Structure 1
Amino acid sequence: MPDVVGLGADDACSIVRRAGLVPAGPEGMPAPEEGVVVAQAPIGTAGAEEGATVVLITQHGRRPADDPITPPPSEEADTLQPA
């Protein structure tokens, strides 16, 4: 079972399909197309038989884990204050 938490929905669904599994949304919804996967069932360390369904829960408005958000230097300087 691949661990796809933190990936974008498209990438996560592709990885799940390549593993021979079927991605789906929660409560019988279709596989997510947008957002970042914040949870999956079964979890990534669990085993699964080929053709099993993997429920992917996404959150919109987040970026994938491999695309961290770093504030520009001017904003960073404004938020950090000496002690």
Structure 2
Amino acid sequence: MEDELRTSLDRLAIKVGTSRAELVRIAVDLLLLRIASDRLHGRPDAIDAEVTAEIYRGEANREVLIARRARQRGRPL
């Protein structure tokens, strides 16, 4: 896990009175429930399609995302 994500999760955990591990567990539980629900409703590939779409959106904005990340980390491109 990247330091930036770890720090954000730690801040959120403190804010809501739990731990980073619990937040991750909840996220995984929600993901698994979503996958199960999609399968029960006859959409076994729904989450795959959404992830793929997000990847393509990310690729379309790759340079913007790289520049933003570099600025956030205070590094030149």
Report the TM range for the smaller structure's normalisation.
Answer: under 0.3
More strand by share: 1
TM-score for the superposition, normalised by structure 2: 0.20
TM-score, with length taken from structure 1: 0.19
Higher fraction of helix: 2
Structure ranking higher on relative contact order (CA contacts 8 Å, 6+ apart): 1
